[in-house]
Structure 1
Amino acid sequence: MSNAVSALQGKVAPGEVTIREAGLRGMIILRGELSDKKLRKACTDLTGAKMPEQGQANCEGEKGLCWMSPDELLVLVPYGDVAQAVAQIDTALDGTHYLAENVSDARALIVVEGTFGREVIAKLAPADLHPDSFKPGDFRRTRLGQVAAAFWMRDEDTFEVICFRSVAEYTFGLLAVSAKAGAVGHYR
């Protein structure tokens, strides 16, 4: 059996806004009826996070729940716990219509940290990131440049970006170039 390696193997682009790969993270796509009490309980028991509302992410450390669509959540857990987490979901949702799939090795997680991190993302995504419209805990599934991605704000200066592993290098490069170009000052 081979050892798991992250898509970018810890790559970092330091600067006023630092772009860094977060490393391996357990990611489970969970599809089902999000209002179902069994599904909600399984998710909150597993992660300790509150169920997210539409367009929200509730994350603490390596665990969390991200709203992906009306019938889909992204469940985040430590990488080493993902197989056990899927088994726990399977047990909790036995007899329920759902799909839980480990997508950890198909995705990459990139962190954007710094005072104008919002602008770094805004230069690349067709989403309203004005501070009145996008706040910590908000989540968007969209595009960065030419690739599908999702991102959320951990806090005022930190975004987490998820993309497919196959485009991680491209996405990292886009973010690094956007950060290197500096602040535009649009949100001041």
Structure 2
Amino acid sequence: MASCQNQRDGEKYDPFGFAAQPCTFPPGTDQKVIKAFDAVDKDCSGTIDECELRTALTKCNHTFTDRTVRFFMCTFSKDATRSRIGPGEFVVLFNSLKRWRDVFCKADKDRDGVIHGNELRTALNSLGFPVSPQAVNLMIATYIREKRSNGVPYDKFIQCCVIVKGLTETFKEQERSPGSATFTYELFMQAALMFTAA
């Protein structure tokens, strides 16, 4: 029986993972990533849901809390309901995770599994997110309170990255949009509330 990947070969590839319908994997995608996706796409629909995404990431040695996986769906899914992720989107997510993990490991200089205020700000800045010290202090306070820790652990760092990425992209989209102030405010509020509710 042909694999799901072969059944999708004839479909259009969207290099940015913004397709409204399933697409194929980008050329040169790591076979481990393709296998992880296909293993959970049991119905060969070309998309996976939140539960399947969690399983696929685990197969690639990325284990996250339910809340973090919901954040991934909010940020990386281009489906109208934010409930499905296709191959292109999965690869964008996977590549982001690799980069974010590298940045976290570099920032965690004392190798204690957490990063602190200055380290968090440096890490986010290195990813192209010019986060203010006040915003970083708010993140630190939130995650220390939740974890009773003296720093931000890896899973929470990934949440920070996803939230900052999502809000930054929404803000940039507003700047490009010539729409009314009401429209841009509504768009930004929707993005912020997605993360609050996740």
TM-score in same-fold range (> 0.5)? no
Higher helix fraction (1 or 2)? 2
- With normalisation by structure 2, the TM-score equals 0.28
**Greater Cα radius of gyration, structure 1 or 2:** 2
TM-score (norm 1): 0.29
Greater relative contact order, per chain length (Cα 8 Å cut-off, separation 6+): 1
